[in-house]
Structure 1
Amino acid sequence: PYKGVYIIPEQVYYDGANYQVTAIADSAFFQSKATEVQVPNTVTTIGECAFAYATDLANITLPLHLKDVSKMLLAGTNVVNVAVPEGVKTIGWGAFQSCPMLHTMLLPSTTKRIDAYGYNNCHNLFEIYCAAPTAPEASGWAIFIGLSGIDVIVPDDDAVAKYAANAVWGDESTFTLYPSEEVSISMTGEVEKYNDHYMRFALGNNLAYKIYKGDELIALTAADFYYVPITAEGAEYYIVPTNMMNDAEATKVVIAPSAVKNVTDDLDLPTVYGRDGSIYIHGNTHGEMVTVFDMYGRLCFRRATNGDEVITLDRGIYVVLVGNHPTKVRL
């Protein structure tokens, strides 16, 4: 059911209550048609094969508090650049196996181990930025087998010496080791309105980006875009290019909903109607917040939609908000 850009919400509404999203199930997006996925920071666990063989998937933002990269997490996808957040210790079995477009991998200082088949068959892997001062264990089978010409950038000259002494990382037929250098990149701070609920920053450049809302770090991503919610008061963000070891100068972006380009001006209004005890919502509604109130103003349903919705409720009169568009429905 997942397709296109999918921004996983921090909360979901179910059976009369809101629940915080803390985990993504095994195979949740397996073979889906998602092209971009942004996982919220409420998530700490992502199951095995969660995005495996979603062959349209090119961009992903992992949550800041992720514990580990699970088995076959992104195997068989078309991700290009991936940043793994601080705190992750293990890259699981086959996590990035057979990712034909994978170009740049950015690993945190906490990285301790890469399991078997971790990067097997990633023949376009060009560079690995690894902030770990000591070479991660990579003794499993076929982690980098058949790969060559990979630049590995590590914290400093001492780290280069430690990696060079490691049987795997010191293999000059596969890797060339370099100490990290200053990151210098200019950003335009380009931002555009994606839909009625989100705006997005244009990123790219085969680097990672730390994104702050005020003083709070809200994301680490190597995706081409990062999506932020539209708020009535606007918000101030800072975008910091990073290679996980050195940061570039921050670019300040102030978002005011009326001051940005809308890339979906031709968005059709949704169709909302009631029939046979259910509310039906059709149209280009992906990412829109759907909220349903009864005639007394009580909240009956609320969640971001990934497309068409069917909401089953008791007989009565309801007000359905799809984004900012209200519709009165009788069941």
Structure 2
Amino acid sequence: MPLSADGKILLKVDESNIIDGFYEIPAGVTTIGVEAFAKVSSLKTLALLGIKTIRGGHLNHSHLPAMMLLAGITDIGVSAFKAAGIRTMGWGGFFKCSSLQTIVIPAGITGIHARAFRGCSNLQTITLPVGLKAIGTEAFSECSSLQTITLPAGVRDIKYDAFLGCDKLTRIIIDSDDQAELERLNALLPYKLTSKIIAKSLYDEVIRLQEKQLARILFSPQTNQLYRFFHVDTQYVSKVNVENDKKQIVEKTCPTLPEEIFCHINNQGTDANLYYQKAKILIGREPWPTTPEELKGYEEKLIKIVNKCIKQAEHFHAATEEAQIASPAAPLN
């Protein structure tokens, strides 16, 4: 791992310096030299601590899923990272970094240059820092999995093709409630993206309403199989059929457990709760409100969706109980 004479420039890194896919820049290094990582293929995580300058041609591969980009970096050279790419993001900085899924860019970066994140096919969310001024040509083009991006107020230039080919992009969150600022940023984006813009406070409120209604599914005895096992107040007391020592099938009531245990397990069971999953899909199909005034109507729609799911569960349980009454289990001896 050669360094310059003064210990401030990292000249070369080879495979022997990579430990379990991780490499941390040595203390005192402020500059990464040209092609310092050019032939490294096992690097998965890179911690850039104290770095101010990154020169061209560093990571010539596409297997880097994570970087720690800390404040203090002031410059990145052209195509500095072909697979992972900072005060600016250089041309092609993260070009085709196919493993990258989420990135939060640190404060101090003012520009993202052309094609910086182009072709990051698994990138889903990105948060851009306060102080960002410009997003260059095709900066996020062909990020085919990108769903959400958070833009700070104050961005002055967004190239028309910055998000070209981001077909799954559903939300462009603006970190501002100022209507004039929202309209200004709206004007910077292509027309087909303007419907995706939402203020951060409105976005947060929509998410809160969704979570509130979905929680009703988890905490309703009609729609949660766990509820009858753990909650002492529910009328849906769990009974199971078991075989006694006389080979008879009998009905036996299950004991209850403290509600704290129920709540903990309950929150882990969303994937297995079919009513929760159905409600989540239906809620996801509802158009989002575009103004705070539309929140009330939106919430009413969510309430109706969840009420319908709970009602369906009630009908199912009623039918099940009728069937059990018609075919009672043998009494417990």
Which structure exhibits the higher relative contact order, with contacts defined as CA atoms closer than 8 Å and separated by 6 or more residues?
A: 1
TM-score (normalizing by structure 2): 0.46
Pick the structure with more strand per residue.
1
